[in-house]
Amino acid sequence: MIIGVPKEIKTDEYRVSITPAGVAELVKEGHTVYVQNSAGEGSGFSDTEYEKAGAALLTDVAKLFKLSDMIVKVKEPIPLEYELFKQKQMLFTYLHLAADKVQTEFLLEKGIRAFSYETLEVNGRLPLLEPMSEVAGKMAALMGSVHLGKYHGGSGLLAGGVTGTHRAKVMVLGGGVAGKAAAEVAAGLGADVTILDINMERLHYLNDVTPANVATLYSSHDTIKDLLPECDIVVGTVLIHGAKAPKLITKEMLGLMKKGSVLVDVSIDQGGCFETSHPTTHTHPTFIEDGIVHYCVANMPGAYPRTSTYALTNATLKYVKALAKHGAENICQELPVMVSSLNTYDGVLYNKAVGEAHDIKSKVW
């Protein structure tokens, strides 16, 4: 199969979808890999490294798309890239379609055979989302702490405090991979941390493995309201597989919070779990509403692209190989877990949650 690796052009995105080592494995299995010039530079990979791995470099991205059977990306296609795709071309990337009707309609109209990283489910886990969730979760605690700084509009409280002073209180909504990572880093900074989740089994696990300054609580609307007045940082990591994130903190609830507190919305790719959230960029990561700092960067792991690219390739390469070997026509029969990754195919939507989000009819594969 001919595989295309274009340079990411989303604002402030420096990851690349495959490392040179990953390219070498694909080439070894007989596939042709086209990599756009400088696609890996943001992650610290030179064109020379890709050439040594067996990739063919192309300057013309339109030619790359035209020649390729499958496009492997990091982030969802943006409108500037839509015209590059061929009818019924394969695409493997993060899609987050429940929060993006325009992209959903494009994929359907073009007949794109689109498989998403974030919906691929194996034994109840999301193995292609987990590495980026871990990066984003760790970042969430760091960014929340940084933006408590007065020069960022925060309250001026140091997250871990110092001898004789108060420590920040951090609430983490969602105890999954991102939530656990956020809690561990916030605790490591010295903050007092509370994780909220509705899965009691998960809460028992978190209670056992997280540091002593991390508490666990069953999540409810009333519990969140009770904790908000004392919180300095709130990290939202809630996830419903493939669907829009629920709005756990409303605009009205911001009035319960201390001015200069920080909301970090890790769920922003899926629409955000705070009512007042809207996507931001690394260049302009925050905005202030009702005196509360909002950090809602839609591609958080892009800030640490070298770590993120290695972690992403470690997780995705197995499935890229499988798609390249079997093709879109046969992959769901040969590797049934890919049914959960399939979102659109020849103009038909195969993700129920996305269909419900956009009132589009979906089918079961």
Residue 362 C-alpha from the chain's centroid: 24
Residue 244 to residue 351: CA distance in whole angstroms = 12
Residue among 71, 64, 14 nearest 40 (CA): 14
Catalytic annotation present for 359: no
> How many residues in the chain?
365
For 186, the token pair is: 């916030």
- Give every CB contact of residue 285 below 8 A, 6+ residues apart in sequence: 143, 147, 295, 296, 297
Point out the catalytic residue in the list 12, 31, 69, 96: 96
* Per-residue b or e along 130-149, where b marks 16 or more CB atoms closer than 10 Å to that residue's CB: bbbbbbbbbbbbbbbbbbbb
Q: Residue 291 in 3-state DSSP?
A: coil
Residue 38 to residue 45: CA distance in whole angstroms = 8
State the burial class of residue 283 (Cβ atoms within 10 Å of its Cβ: 0-12, 13-18, 19+): exposed
For 19, the token pair is: 């490392």
Point out the catalytic residue in the list 69, 192, 232, 269: 269
For residues 296 and 272, the answer to whether their CB atoms sit within 8 Å is yes
Catalytic annotation present for 269: yes
Residue 76 to residue 95: CA distance in whole angstroms = 5
Q: Residue 292 in 3-state DSSP?
A: strand
Residue 153 C-alpha from the chain's centroid: 26
Q: Residue 93 in 3-state DSSP?
A: strand
Query: Mind telling me the catalytic residues?
Result: 96, 269
